[in-house]
Amino acid sequence: MLFAATLSLLALPNVWAQSSVADAYVASESPLARAGMLANIGPSGSQSLGAFPGIVIASPSTVNPDYLFTWTRDSAVAFSAIVNQFALGIDTTTRGEIDDYVASQVIVQQIPNPSGDLASGGLGEPKFNINETAFTGPWGRPQRDGPALRSIALITWANFLLSESNTSYVTDTLWPIIENDLNYVAANWNESTFDLWEELNSSSFFTTAVQHRVLHQGVSLATALGQPESLVSNYETQANFVLCFLQTYWNTAGHITANTGGGRSGIDANTVLASIHTFDAAAGCDALTFQPCSDLALLNLHTYVDAFRSLYEINSGFASNEAVLTGRYPEDVYMGGNPWYLTTLAVAEQLYDSLIVWNSQKSLEVTSTSLAFFQIFDSSIAAGTYASSSSQFTSLTGAIKTFSDGFVAAVANHTPANGGLAEQISNTNGTPVSAVDLTWSFAAALTTFDARKGVVPASWGAKGLSLSCAGEPIPQTVFCDFQRRCYYYFWAYVYPLFLAICRLMLFGARIENIYLTGSVDALEDWSTETALLMSSANYPIWSITVTLPANTDIQYKYINIDGSALTWESDPNNEFTTPASGTFVTHDTWR
């Protein structure tokens, strides 16, 4: 949903005061956030007693909720912040923690767990006990963002060490860890995953975005280390496929659809976090990789922020061009559904990243897509390119800087005197809620403050990328919802030109005939002669409507029939039990 109206920033002088609040907060909170994050890293951290060396606890909270575990994702986010600051010379006192983290991940990768072992999917296990043993309780697994994020941190470290001529450590110690993660990502990116909130099992924009980044980085590092060409070629091929798939998350309603399943609006902080975790200033405002200042990312941010303006009581009274507290997604009910520190800071960080690029390239572009975002600050602005010498550039960037500072000020207003950053902020009275001293909250503060200062992380190679899918067919997945529709999705391009390429690549010069059959009369009792033809009217989506009996075990398969040639999915059969009423969602992968 777009803003219904825009107001002149000059009409709201109280907004400008937010920048002075942000100035003071950054100065006071920076050392506290750093100390808070390090306190959560074993063995010497004051909050992480019992954690093995290099192990990051998510939070010292042990009840309601119990976060005294180490998550691969959260640990990698923390060490990405630490490694970036070290490599950029901002904080070079953390070498011991980095070395311990590397050593701990050598061990963690080898721990057999409910997701498998190193060779059978164990890298998708989301969390472990802090003494480097497997967590065996029920959980949302696998979570496939962890390996990508871990290798993003380690590749950044490897590149720094290579610049320091420490090749042997990179080759002997870092590369084996990184290669394990890259191989996992290359082999499993097209499989379903629980999202970063650990609630939905589908495909997730955040996961896909970081997977694309790490595969691209893997190509460069593997080449630099003289790894086999076959390995490099595989990473490159898979990176191209992932970039193609990344485009399919865009929703023309004006936002990125965060997850392909779950039945939500798709508006989610997942997408903002993806943009900042794949920021590459050298790529400018590239839309293919959803860079922070791209028109797609800006419109998405606009839609995301607006979704929370009237949702929380604590946001009442703020104008449409003022910052507000944001949460994970509008439908959230966890702990009552509240704003989060890290999601609100992520909005500020995306805007600060955008300002870095605009100031560097000495211009900004307003497109028909991003127009609604820029009209927050100037209702009369028109599509076009504005040079840094123009009054429009000056007024827009100044207003956006103030807007960004407003999100930092919103967090500052709800940070306790000791600088502790919990997971959430009460949506009614603004008090900290849920896990205390969340490591990710501290990391988010540090990266946001760095972006505000104009700190530019090392490029990961996003500049100049283009859509190119050559070689193996794009992976395919079946999605069924039991409003009785089955959708046969092929990960394809969303633009007509690329759809045409995919048609040629996947199926020659024409569209395949895809059929559905199964174990009940409504699915033709496994008949290949009377199997149900699925419509390709919305190619590359195949669809069919089937009425099925309630409370019944159903087995089914898809068939590709080309004249006399018939190809079944491989075993086992797809299977589910129909509900008594309502809807049911399952995700299958064509075998």
Is residue 226 in a domain?
no
Q: Are residues 377 and 459 in the same domain?
A: yes
What is the pLDDT averaged over residues 502-530? 68
Q: Are residues 426 and 540 in the same domain?
A: no
Distances, alpha carbon 412 to alpha carbons 30, 67, 313, 418, in Å: 12, 24, 18, 12
Is residue 498 in a domain?
yes
pLDDT at 560: 82
pLDDT at 508: 38
Please confirm, yes or no, whether 198 is among the known catalytic residues. Answer: yes
d(CA 257, CA 354): 21
pLDDT band at 506 (very low <50, low <70, confident <90, very high): very low
pLDDT at 495: 39
Q: Are residues 436 and 500 in the same domain?
A: no
In contact, 278 and 289? CB cutoff 8 Å: yes
Least confident interval from 98-107, 224-233, 575-584: 575-584
- Does residue 491 surpass a pLDDT of 50? no
What is the pLDDT averaged over residues 300-323? 95
pLDDT at 504: 40
What is the pLDDT averaged over residues 116-129? 97
- Does residue 590 surpass a pLDDT of 70? no
- Does residue 59 surpass a pLDDT of 50? yes
Q: Which of 100, 125, 181, 195 is catalytic?
A: 195
Is residue 409 in a domain?
yes
d(CA 353, CA 159): 22
pLDDT at 39: 98
Q: Which of 23, 99, 117, 198 is catalytic?
A: 198
d(CA 65, CA 434): 7
DSSP 215-249: HHHHHHHHHHTT--HHHHHHHHHHHHHHHHHHGGG
Q: Are residues 516 and 444 in the same domain?
A: no
pLDDT at 542: 61
Q: Are residues 344 and 463 in the same domain?
A: yes
Q: Are residues 510 and 458 in the same domain?
A: no
* CATH, residue 425: 1.50.10.10
The number of distinct structural domains making up the chain is 2
pLDDT at 502: 40
Share of the chain above pLDDT 70, in %: 86
Is residue 499 in a domain?
yes
pLDDT band at 582 (very low <50, low <70, confident <90, very high): low
Share of the chain above pLDDT 90, in %: 75
Least confident interval from 282-291, 373-382, 577-586: 577-586
d(CA 10, CA 383): 22
H or E segment and range at residue 409:
helix 391-412
Of 470, 499, 515, the residue that ends a domain is: 470
In contact, 181 and 123? CB cutoff 8 Å: yes
- DSSP at 396: H
* CATH, residue 483: 2.60.40.10
Q: Which domain holds residue 522?
A: 476-589
Of 470, 486, 501, the residue that ends a domain is: 470
- Helix residue ranges per DSSP H, 109-246: 145-163, 167-169, 175-188, 205-224, 229-246
pLDDT at 578: 80
pLDDT at 287: 96
- Does residue 417 surpass a pLDDT of 50? yes
pLDDT in tens, 334-372: 999 999 999 999 999 999 999 999 999 999 999 999 999
What is the pLDDT averaged over residues 286-313? 97
Q: Are residues 438 and 559 in the same domain?
A: no
Is residue 249 in a domain?
no
Q: Are residues 445 and 499 in the same domain?
A: no
Is residue 484 in a domain?
yes
How far, rounded to the nearest angstrom, does the alpha carbon of residue 142 sit from its chain's CA centroid? 15
pLDDT at 537: 56
- Compare 32 and 527 and report the one with higher pLDDT: 32
- Does residue 488 surpass a pLDDT of 60? no
Closest alpha carbon to 443 in 140, 139, 37, 163: 37
pLDDT in tens, 520-578: 888 888 888 888 887 765 555 667 877 888 878 888 888 887 666 788 877 778 887 88
- Compare 454 and 588 and report the one with higher pLDDT: 454
Q: Are residues 440 and 505 in the same domain?
A: no
Is residue 64 in a domain?
no
pLDDT at 528: 83
The DSSP bridge pattern shows strands 432-433 and 424-425 to be antiparallel
Q: Are residues 465 and 485 in the same domain?
A: no
Q: Are residues 277 and 301 in the same domain?
A: yes
Is 139 a known ligand-binding residue?
Answer: yes
What is the pLDDT averaged over residues 404-433? 97
Q: Are residues 410 and 381 in the same domain?
A: yes
pLDDT band at 268 (very low <50, low <70, confident <90, very high): very high
What is the pLDDT averaged over residues 109-133? 97
Which residues are CB-neighbours of 86 under 8 A, at least 6 positions away?
92, 94, 95, 98, 160
- Does residue 132 surpass a pLDDT of 90? yes
Is residue 107 in a domain?
no
pLDDT in tens, 72-89: 999 999 999 999 999 999
Sign of the alpha-carbon torsion through 107, 278, 182, 165: negative
Distances, alpha carbon 564 to alpha carbons 14, 529, 531, in Å: 73, 11, 14
What is the pLDDT averaged over residues 399-407? 97
pLDDT in tens, 469-483: 544 334 333 333 222
Residue with tokens 């904080």: 91
What is the pLDDT averaged over residues 162-173? 97
Average pLDDT, the chain: 88
Of 428, 454, 470, the residue that ends a domain is: 470
- Helix residue ranges per DSSP H, 63-144: 72-87, 95-108
Closest alpha carbon to 299 in 342, 362, 253: 253
3-class SS at 411? helix
d(CA 369, CA 420): 39
